[in-house]
Amino acid sequence: MALLFILGVLVFSYPFVVDSINNYYDQKAIEKLHKENQEEFKTKKTERLEEMKEINKKLAENKNTQNISGMGIVEDPFEAALTSKRTKKDQEYYKEHTIGAIFIPKIHVSLPLFDETNNTLLDVGATILQGSSYPIGGKDSHSVITGHSGLPDKKLFTDLEKLEKKDVIYIDVAGEKLAYEIETFKTVLPHELDDVKIQKGRDLITLVTCTPYMVNTHRLLVTAHRIPYVEEKMEKEKEQVQEYHKNRFRLFMLFFPILFSMIFYWMWRKFVYYQSGKYKYDFIFYIQRNNKPVVGETFVLTTGKKIVRKNKRKVTATSDINGEVRFSGIRGGKYTARHLKLKEVNAVRGYVYLLKDKQFVIRGKRKYFKVIKSKDGKKYILEMRKKK
């Protein structure tokens, strides 16, 4: 039963944990890239930016924008990625193709942005569709950014459907910081991608992902137009997204050790409970009234509501001159000692904590019960007052 429970916890939590871990390392990668870019772009920023601008200019001049070798803009970006074999690449490959990051605060998206779309890069982050503009701003540009939905180990663009009009998307590319406000949503068939063409005089981006969730028969297009980038406000929102993933990761790292410690403790207690039945222990407590021992009060031992019997006789014990109530030689387990006649007197419970112990650990309601430690061990005292 315990193993089934643990297995259930692992299966249920797997996608959340893996997504959290992946997102955490995404944030680390984005931070590392930003740091490297700060140094690298001092010398290469202008050169890289000019390359992108030149490509965007050629795309704007070509009204069809469908002549890119191997990937026309109206072709489905996911078809090959969903059917082709995954290939593992080294970190240098990802670094080479990383040009920035995309942030969507509303749905806690913070992903690396790659310069081309293929099955390897789609598994890791968001990608720019070949044949579309680079998201560096400027009129007569339309960047198509693709991302998977429904992967078992990463959410990526899974929550795009939760976005609404006027939600904001942030993009950092080649040192440029841009903001786009969502204006339209459209669900189309895989080959119906005419809406992602360049629109004269406009600066647009369109996010593309598979839909419905886990069915993937259609494509969701989320189009947004450029708005002014408010440095302080928008930088804060981006930082909050990154911190969200870091805190989520830390929470899982804290939660699972605690969870497994609790499961281990529960299993250990079950083990002790069943094994203790092979041994005998003394069930001892003391009763007092106004801090003085009470003599002659009889208690009966029960398991739940069932009275414990030995040779068909009730197992009872009567308090002596010291107020001690002793049940000797009781097999390990969980028991409750109740007053034989007075139901209004509070009961005490006992269980075996360690197999090597000689006595049961006794517990009762705090208001009527106390534990005194001494050299001889713990002394459990029940105050003889009627329960309210």
Residues with a catalytic annotation lie at 148, 210
CB atoms inside a 10 Å sphere around CB 24: 19
Reference 59, options 115, 139, 167, 146; nearest CA is: 139
DSSP secondary structure letter of residue 88? -
Sign of the torsion angle spanned by Cα atoms 137, 103, 180, 215: positive
In the block, tokens 């795009």 appear at 160
- Give me the DSSP letters along 6-56: HHHHHHHHHHHHHHHHHHHHHHHHHHHHHHHHHHHHHHHHHHHHHHHHHHH
In the block, tokens 């007053």 appear at 339
CA distance 116 to 216: 21
Do residues 343 and 299 lie in contact, with contact meaning Cβ atoms separated by under 8 Å?
no
Q: SS3 helix, strand, coil % of the chain, rounded to 5?
A: 35, 30, 35
